[in-house]
Amino acid sequence: MRRMLLWMAGNRWLRDRLPKLWFARRAVRRFMPGEDAESALRAGAQFQIEGIGSLYTRLGENLVRIEDADEVAAHYLGVMDEIRERRLDGEISVKLTQLGFDLDVERTFAHASALATKAAENGRSLWVDMEGSAYTEATIAFYERLKASHPNVGLCLQAYLRRTAADVRRLLPLQPGIRLVKGAYAEPTEITYQARAEVNANFLALSVAMLEAVRAGGQVRIALGTHDVGLIGQVAEHAAAMGLRKTAFEIQMLYGVRSDQQSRLNREGFIVRDLIAYGEAWYPWYMRRLAERPANVLFALRQMIG
């Protein structure tokens, strides 16, 4: 089921047709407050009342026209203005291929620099998502270059990749922001841990390595991008055993997923940030969310019928 949904995520024919169907639009509402930035910002303001921060991402990846990347960058600059004006504890998370990475790396770099500069003016960070493994090395190298001139940037790394332990070691000296996730793409078996238990064990080991760096006095902004509350609990136990505060790391979850747990963790004193996605280009992203939990397919079907 997971493989089929991930195949569907990458299928252009379906991507062009499925999103036009009203029932698909209705089902996606569970993971998205709306298609425009205004809906996302309003949802972020609601989270803020509870003390939960927000992250915003406009859906869209693998652009094929570089002019579209210019528009995306301009859009995010506008969203950052809104975040400041509304006094939201909000940050932006971008995919490099949404800023033109497939087409023109230098232009992508100029856009990412402009976004990071604006984020810094507002006292915020800019997050860079991690895409499929064809982009891993190039994205990390891009991050290293961006980080050299913009201290306020964070990068997503995926625990299902065997290479990630080395990548964490490589990045730690840079005082990075690292959002650790399990990983959402269909990848070759040679480069990934396939068993869930192995991915979880690697996630924990990588989290502990980052906490050790913090305990040793290093500057690392650690974000756990997971809904696996058991795993978060284990990381929290390790942090406590090292004498670190609950705020030594933050927890980032997706809008609409385990909302009850987001509130609980926030009440217990952890830093929680909700990633709110919006935009018309939701199809591949939504299919990856379904793949993460096949029970969501039943939920989607019920939404379509009911």
Ligand X SMILES: Cc1cc2nc3c(=O)[nH]c(=O)nc-3n(C[C@H](O)[C@H](O)[C@H](O)COP(=O)(O)OP(=O)(O)OC[C@H]3O[C@@H](n4cnc5c(N)ncnc54)[C@H](O)[C@@H]3O)c2cc1C
**Taking CB under 6 A as the rule, does residue 257 contact ligand X?**
yes
Longest dimension (CA), the chain: 55
Residue tagged active-site, from 102, 129, 167, 228: 129
Active site residue 179: yes
**Contact residue for ligand X among 35, 91, 129, 250 (CB under 6 A):** 129
Backbone angles phi, psi at 158, to 5 degrees: -110, 125
Stretch that binds ligand X, among 4-12, 114-122, 165-173, 252-260 (CB under 6 A): 252-260
The smaller minimum CB distance to ligand X, of residues 204 and 216, is found at 204
Q: How far is the CB of 203 from ligand X (least distance, A)?
A: 8
State the residue for tokens 């609990």: 233
**Taking CB under 6 A as the rule, does residue 228 contact ligand X?**
yes
The smaller minimum CB distance to ligand X, of residues 120 and 257, is found at 257
Active site residue 167: no
**Taking CB under 6 A as the rule, does residue 227 contact ligand X?**
yes
Partners of 225 in beta bridges: 252
Backbone angles phi, psi at 224, to 5 degrees: -95, 105
User: CB neighbours of 269 closer than 8 A, spacing ≥ 6?
Assistant: 246, 247
DSSP state of 19: G
**Taking CB under 6 A as the rule, does residue 183 contact ligand X?**
yes
The smaller minimum CB distance to ligand X, of residues 108 and 226, is found at 226
**Taking CB under 6 A as the rule, does residue 185 contact ligand X?**
yes
Residue 79 to residue 171: CA distance in whole angstroms? 29
Residue tagged active-site, from 179, 221, 273, 288: 179
Within residues 262-301, the interface with ligand X by CB under 6 A covers 275, 289, 292-293, 296
Size of the chain, expressed as the number of residues it contains: 306
Q: How far is the CB of 129 from ligand X (least distance, A)?
A: 3
Total of residues contacting ligand X (CB under 6 A)? 23
**Contact residue for ligand X among 181, 235, 239, 272 (CB under 6 A):** 181
The smaller minimum CB distance to ligand X, of residues 152 and 192, is found at 192
159 and 203 Cβ atoms separated by less than 8 Å = yes
**DSSP states along 9-46:** HH-HHHHHHGGGSHHHHHHHTTT-S-SSHHHHHHHHHH
Element (H, E) at 69: helix 66-85
**DSSP states along 145-165:** HHHHH-TTEEEEEETTBTTHH
Q: How far is the CB of 285 from ligand X (least distance, A)?
A: 10
**How far is the CA of 142 from the CAs of 32, 47, 129, in angstroms?**
29, 32, 12
Q: How far is the CB of 181 from ligand X (least distance, A)?
A: 4
In our burial notation (b when 16+ CB lie closer than 10 A, e otherwise), range 190-212 reads: eebbeeeeebbebbbebbbebbe
Within residues 26-85, the interface with ligand X by CB under 6 A covers none
Q: How far is the CB of 201 from ligand X (least distance, A)?
A: 13
Query: How far apart, in Å, do the first and last CA atoms of the chain sit?
Result: 23
The smaller minimum CB distance to ligand X, of residues 13 and 295, is found at 295
Task: Name the residue among 192, 200, 78, 76 with its Cα closest to residue 129.
Answer: 76
Q: How far is the CB of 125 from ligand X (least distance, A)?
A: 13
Residues that bind ligand X (CB under 6 A): 129-130, 156, 158, 181-185, 225-228, 252-254, 257-258, 275, 289, 292-293, 296
Catalytic residues: 129, 179
